[in-house]
Structure 1
């Protein structure tokens, strides 16, 4: 019995206070006594806190300057002018036809008609930053609608898919947080609300649900944990500090306003009749000399100053908010005085790595590629593109690379020189360098060739003497004849040969 009690005592000690020399993080002693945690899965936490967290994040973006600047910075750096496709078809004419039709369709892609496809990308980036997710629904259109490709996209915010919808469908599928899964765990449908739950101007029926097949929905989400179904706002770790800092700033602004007022207080001897009204009120005007009655004394209000702690406190708090949001301090605050060039460059490089990873793993993979595939399928079925053997070689026709907006130079001269050295050393190709700037190498080469031909025709040459791109001048006997036809040029009226099946 004594042995059993000894084991119980040791077990209680190990479970309550940790093994000596073990992890302090699990200790229940004084320093971590108030550290209460939850072992609930992220899906349960989102179901309980998601709506309130999203509402607070949206409130901050509408009312807090730092929050508004952070989300605009994120959208501008992740999407910018847009992440565009570059078809890798080997047939130039077919590739040009696809790219031309795509460019025309992007202007008609938005079902609301407020922006183009690249504007939808920017809105999607904002929504994912705000609520951790966004939905896009494919909306097929009729031929009489007059679209170049009968297809549009409708953007639906996170609130349109109710988190509290957990049930079993009539076909036996499980519905979790508005998403319907089949028996092997594949998404088969989304149960959307017909109207936004917070939009009282919409005359639709409140709470009415519509089931949309999963094949017609794109769910753009940046998951943070395994098994996560719905999104988590990027503002989650910064909401408390943003709100409290905003309150502190408001209090400081009011204090400064009061301090700037020339407030004076007149102290008089006790009157004979304290209940009698005062005979007059003193109002001070600029330059006025006021004579007081005998016995009266004037003092000027002097509110306490914040001293030298305000600026360091603001800076450190904003650094914590910057780290929580994943936005560099300079981008969050537009404060360029705090960091030197080297520190700013290091933070910019780190930020660009994060942005690049997000672009390819979230925006391109989840949104751009499905939209491109549906665009191509619809364009072929509607007769907008004539691609022989598309049903058999669909993957070949869909092959493309996605080019994000180019990064601006940090140090233009040094960066350009370093890239030229890499190309000349064979460490990277011109195609790769041009793609990193968001352009198509074939299109750039065609534009350069057209410029060279025009220069030769006009007797001009704007290239720097000694440049590797320097070509024979117009008087050089080795210079090509500008009027001669190129035997390799493609006839725009010639239908290219069909793609050969592998």
Structure 2
């Protein structure tokens, strides 16, 4: 065999559907004969299918109850009451001033004035689930606009950045799907439409774009593949089944509607002689039957009552299995998608919730916090310092220290909170976790909680009250004795002058 023939034969083996005994997944035999795939990159697929896919996803959310319930469940679990910041500034007074200013600004954050910052988080979570992405634009304001910090955030839907916009900009920058990149691949600008392409009520110029620097834009996206530029709707693998299931439900509803009607068919042996109604003014094709009525028929005529077929026992299992597939495609537990609490026991439901919440926590950290919360927090502090609304000495040198923050999502609620609370108390008492960690997991600041608890204890002492559970570790000595002197110092209390790192246990001997 010559070298050329050998290479040709090996090339035929390797370049075909696979070597004998290889991977069935690449075979072209009977089972996979109709399995055709595309080798196009995800960006090319989004460019061709993105607008129609997003339009169908929005249609389903507006018209399909399951789709609407899924997106509401996703927003409620990923954002809830809001993912709030907890500054780690060491100086309590500066931290308190920063947190108070942030809380005041959150009510003014939305450029449209429709919600607060945490409402923007919820809207962003909905948009990313529905179309795969959303854009936020920083809008600096004038000092005389009356804002506590002259900054607002404007939300722009996916359709505002045109997918077909591909060109070479001045200086050699490349514009791909509306995003401008420099020569080393960094995003430098976004070319937004001046008005929404589907909003005919906006009198703005249709089709015109405006270049916005990338430093003023946040692109919130959960990319599924490497090199992906634009988002893909979470509804993509579920659109077909959601739509077909909706059609199937409509057909079954019509079947039930017809079955509930009382319809009769009159058969006459002389079809050339139409049956005349008793009322000469009634239409020839209309016959009404009243309760207890005696109907007179001509000789030879028969009456047949319609009996449409029922859906039988296959309707419920088919619905359930189809909704399970839709649930898996959307990443939403079946109970959250359908509001059906009858199926599944407590243990199975809890296991599915644990898996769902792990996914949500990962999305919160990698998408919502990293892409939205962090940059907005940094821009807020920068603007507040420059505007004189916040005084942080040495900010130019210690910016990283002042920007340090922990983002606290809303606490998860369980079906049996007592067991979970007891388990958490046991972990704290065993030293497996700290109170600070436990409080942070609930979405609160441990220092703020401790200050509130101290203030409540002080008020209880002044009023002679004690709402703590008897035997609780939170109770001090004599707390259960109403006659105890609350002003008497605790003999077991630690000496404030004692080094807390030293052993304070009593020593043996004289």
Short-chain TM bin: over 0.9
The CA distance in 1 between the partners of 2:376 and 2:278, in whole Å, is 78
Q: CA deviation at 1:135?
A: 0.3
The CA distance in 1 between the partners of 2:292 and 2:255, in whole Å, is 26
Spell out the pairing of 1:107-126 with structure 2 (5 A cutoff). Answer: 107-126=107-126
The CA distance in 1 between the partners of 2:117 and 2:156, in whole Å, is 15
Q: CA deviation at 1:277?
A: 9.3
Query: Counterpart in 2 of 1:179?
Result: 179
Query: Counterpart in 2 of 1:376?
Result: 381
Query: Counterpart in 2 of 1:359?
Result: 364
Which residue of 330, 334, 337 corresponds with 2:335?
Answer: 330
The CA distance in 1 between the partners of 2:133 and 2:233, in whole Å, is 8
Query: Counterpart in 2 of 1:493?
Result: none
Spell out the pairing of 1:366-405 with structure 2 (5 A cutoff). Answer: 366-405=371-410
Helix, strand or coil at the partner of 2:170: coil
Helix, strand or coil at the partner of 2:406: strand
The CA distance in 2 between the partners of 1:276 and 1:477, in whole Å, is 103
Query: Counterpart in 2 of 1:457?
Result: 462
Query: Counterpart in 1 of 2:145?
Result: 145
Helix, strand or coil at the partner of 1:388: coil
Helix, strand or coil at the partner of 1:171: helix
The CA distance in 1 between the partners of 2:167 and 2:72, in whole Å, is 38
Helix, strand or coil at the partner of 1:211: strand
Which residue of 408, 411, 416 corresponds with 2:413?
Answer: 408
Judging changes above 3 Å, is the alpha-carbon distance between structure 1 residues 33 and 399 closer, same or farther for their aligned structure 2 residues?
same
Q: Does 1:304 align with 2:309?
A: yes
Helix, strand or coil at the partner of 1:420: helix
Judging changes above 3 Å, is the alpha-carbon distance between structure 1 residues 230 and 294 closer, same or farther for their aligned structure 2 residues?
same
The CA distance in 2 between the partners of 1:476 and 1:427, in whole Å, is 35
Preserved CA contact (<8 Å) 1:192 1:212: yes
The CA distance in 1 between the partners of 2:272 and 2:66, in whole Å, is 58
Query: Counterpart in 1 of 2:48?
Result: 48
Judging changes above 3 Å, is the alpha-carbon distance between structure 1 residues 254 and 206 closer, same or farther for their aligned structure 2 residues?
same
The CA distance in 2 between the partners of 1:318 and 1:105, in whole Å, is 42
Which residue of 413, 437, 446 corresponds with 2:442?
Answer: 437
Preserved CA contact (<8 Å) 1:472 1:479: no
The CA distance in 1 between the partners of 2:182 and 2:63, in whole Å, is 42
Judging changes above 3 Å, is the alpha-carbon distance between structure 1 residues 259 and 427 closer, same or farther for their aligned structure 2 residues?
same
Q: CA deviation at 1:412?
A: 1.1
Q: CA deviation at 1:172?
A: 1.5
Preserved CA contact (<8 Å) 2:277 2:287: no
The CA distance in 2 between the partners of 1:271 and 1:310, in whole Å, is 40
The CA distance in 2 between the partners of 1:44 and 1:278, in whole Å, is 70
Q: CA deviation at 1:4?
A: 6.2
Segments of 5+ residues of structure 2 without an aligned counterpart are 281-285, 490-495, 497-510
Preserved CA contact (<8 Å) 2:461 2:486: no
Judging changes above 3 Å, is the alpha-carbon distance between structure 1 residues 479 and 339 closer, same or farther for their aligned structure 2 residues?
farther
Query: Counterpart in 2 of 1:289?
Result: 294
Query: Counterpart in 2 of 1:236?
Result: 236
Helix, strand or coil at the partner of 1:226: coil
Judging changes above 3 Å, is the alpha-carbon distance between structure 1 residues 314 and 469 closer, same or farther for their aligned structure 2 residues?
same
Judging changes above 3 Å, is the alpha-carbon distance between structure 1 residues 163 and 477 closer, same or farther for their aligned structure 2 residues?
same
Q: CA deviation at 1:5?
A: 6.2
Query: Counterpart in 2 of 1:500?
Result: none
Segments of 5+ residues of structure 1 without an aligned counterpart are 482-487, 489-502
Preserved CA contact (<8 Å) 1:473 1:479: no
Q: CA deviation at 1:282?
A: 3.0
**Deviation per CA, 1:386-444, whole angstroms, max 9, x where unpaired?**
11111110111111100001100232121111111111111100000000010110111
Judging changes above 3 Å, is the alpha-carbon distance between structure 1 residues 272 and 445 closer, same or farther for their aligned structure 2 residues?
closer
Helix, strand or coil at the partner of 2:25: helix
Spell out the pairing of 1:77-226 with structure 2 (5 A cutoff). Answer: 77-226=77-226
Q: Does 1:33 align with 2:36?
A: no
Helix, strand or coil at the partner of 1:305: coil
Helix, strand or coil at the partner of 1:307: coil
Query: Counterpart in 2 of 1:420?
Result: 425
Preserved CA contact (<8 Å) 1:161 1:178: yes
**Deviation per CA, 1:324-355, whole angstroms, max 9, x where unpaired?**
00000000000001111011000000000000
Q: CA deviation at 1:267?
A: 1.3
The CA distance in 2 between the partners of 1:178 and 1:108, in whole Å, is 29
Preserved CA contact (<8 Å) 1:238 1:324: yes
Helix, strand or coil at the partner of 2:266: strand
Helix, strand or coil at the partner of 2:427: helix
**Deviation per CA, 1:284-317, whole angstroms, max 9, x where unpaired?**
1233333333322111101111111111111000
**Count of matched residue positions in the alignment of Structure 1 and Structure 2:** 484
Q: Could you tell me the TM-score, scaled by structure 2's length?
A: 0.91
Judging changes above 3 Å, is the alpha-carbon distance between structure 1 residues 10 and 385 closer, same or farther for their aligned structure 2 residues?
closer
Judging changes above 3 Å, is the alpha-carbon distance between structure 1 residues 169 and 464 closer, same or farther for their aligned structure 2 residues?
same
